């Protein structure tokens, strides 16, 4: 039973210790991003990880982690088990539950993934958690955000002297840079990236031994909620509507769903871990 291996992945470190991310180094972020505009080749993996850590530390400043090491450890176990099934298993994967009532989840380049307490509380099984984390893992695998940063950097930095931004800490160029790093998390990715993350995320969850319907059932939960609910505002702004995502999944993924619908859901274990 592959899922039993989850328990063996138990990490002795409290989850908080895994999130000692370096504080934002604008100098490093800017240099990297600026070079990207000129570079013909892709961003190297160590730079991808560094950019991601800088962005993650900014996002953590906006919403702290839930101060529950056991919960953080549990979500890390599930996430790392999923990531271990992928071609980028070697990345420094880390998963964090943000202490926020809104429903959201997002991925940062290099393997850092956040999910909000609000979204976690709407889920009913580990398979559903795996479906959502699988979706976010795909964003990292396929470098969706990294490519968006790469593209956006050229516009954001246009006409702004890099040295000005660094010298004048209160100036508009500096503000622009700071805003740039987090902006894409309020704007969202291309729809095609989101639908790809749904499809491949389902494959990863199924490969890890979970009921492949985990992600679709979360989308059904979202669809059943009041679309005017302010807790959904950001997720609905940054993702295609749940109904559209479900349609796209049904169109392309039905055989995968059917073949893996009797795999583990682990509802009891999930509820025990989440609602303690
Ligand atoms: Zn997404």
Going by the DSSP 8-state scheme, the letter that residue 16 receives in this structure is: G
C-alpha 138/C-alpha 159 separation (Å) is: 34
Phi, psi dihedral angles at 95 (to 5 degrees): -125, 135
Ligand 1 geometric centre to CA of 106 (Å): 6
| Burial profile 190-225: b = 16 or more Cβ within 10 angstroms, e = fewer | eeebbbbbbbbbbbbbbbbbbbbbbbbbbbebbeee
Ligand 1 geometric centre to CA of 183 (Å): 15
Residues with Cβ–ion distance below 5 A, ligand 1:
194, 197
Render each residue's pLDDT in the chain as its tens digit; 276 residues. Answer: 343 333 333 333 333 333 333 333 334 434 444 444 443 346 678 877 877 777 787 777 778 999 999 999 999 999 999 999 999 999 999 999 999 999 999 998 899 999 999 999 999 999 999 999 999 999 999 999 888 877 766 666 655 544 454 455 466 654 565 466 567 777 888 999 999 999 999 999 999 999 999 999 999 999 999 888 889 888 888 889 999 999 999 998 898 898 898 899 999 999 999 886
C-alpha 174/C-alpha 172 separation (Å) is: 5
Q: Residue ranges of the alpha helices (H) in 142-232?
A: 144-156, 162-167, 172-187, 191-207, 214-224
Q: What per-residue confidence (pLDDT) applies to 53?
A: 78
Q: What per-residue confidence (pLDDT) applies to 13?
A: 33
Going by the DSSP 8-state scheme, the letter that residue 43 receives in this structure is: P
């Amino acid at each position: 039973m592959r899922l039993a291996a989850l328990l063996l992945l138990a990490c002795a470190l409290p989850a908080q210790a895994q999130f000692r991310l370096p504080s934002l180094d604008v100098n490093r972020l800017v240099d990297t991003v600026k070079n990207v505009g000129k570079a013909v080749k892709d961003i190297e993996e160590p730079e991808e990880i560094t950019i991601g850590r800088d962005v993650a530390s900014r996002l953590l400043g906006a919403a702290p982690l839930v101060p529950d090491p056991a919960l953080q450890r549990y979500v890390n176990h599930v996430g790392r088990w999923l990531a271990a099934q992928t071609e980028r298993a070697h990345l420094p994967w880390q998963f964090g539950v943000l202490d926020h009532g809104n429903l959201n989840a997002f991925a940062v380049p290099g393997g850092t993934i956040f999910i909000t307490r609000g979204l976690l509380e709407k889920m009913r099984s580990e398979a559903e958690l795996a479906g959502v984390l699988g979706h976010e893992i795909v964003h990292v695998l396929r470098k969706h955000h990294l490519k968006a940063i790469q593209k956006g950097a050229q516009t954001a930095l246009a006409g702004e002297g890099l040295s000005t931004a660094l010298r004048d800490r209160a100036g508009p160029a500096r503000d622009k840079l700071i805003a740039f790093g987090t902006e894409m998390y309020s704007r969202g990715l291309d729809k095609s990236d989101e639908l790809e993350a749904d499809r491949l995320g389902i494959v990863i969850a199924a490969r890890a031994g979970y009921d492949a319907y985990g992600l679709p059932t979360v989308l059904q939960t979202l669809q059943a909620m009041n679309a005017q609910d302010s807790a959904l505002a950001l997720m609905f702004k940054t993702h295609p509507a749940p109904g559209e995502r479900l349609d796209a999944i049904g169109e392309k993924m039905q055989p995968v769903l059917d073949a893996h619908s009797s795999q583990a859901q682990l509802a009891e274990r999930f509820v025990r871990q989440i609602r303690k």
